[in-house]
Amino acid sequence: MATFTFYIRDERYTVPTLAIVVAQNAVRARALAAKRLLESPHHTAIDVYEGEALRFSLSPGAERAIH
């Protein structure tokens, strides 16, 4: 299990919402982030960190992977 930090960007707020997520691996974290992104039409992107490292960013139309 690994701990991931989600920074959820929302068009209504200037500061991202922080969520701490424990997942089996980065693949599962990506699936959870995608689900979280779809929870609100106001979510514009989610940046996913593992420790200090940005692992990937998700947005409704595009995805940017960082390995």
pTM check: above 0.95: no
Q: Residues 1-59: pLDDT tens digits? A: 999 999 999 999 999 999 999 999 999 999 999 999 999 999 999 999 999 999 999 99
Q: Is residue 66 part of a domain?
A: no
Q: Is residue 27 part of a domain?
A: yes
What's the total number of domains in the chain? 1
For the chain, how big is the Rg over CA atoms in Å?
11
Range of the domain at 24: 2-61
Q: Residue 23 phi/psi, 5° resolution?
A: -140, 160
C-alpha angle 60/28/11, rounded to 5°?
30
Q: Is residue 10 part of a domain?
A: yes
Residue type for position 19 = A
Q: Is residue 29 part of a domain?
A: yes
Q: Is residue 67 part of a domain?
A: no
Q: Is residue 6 part of a domain?
A: yes
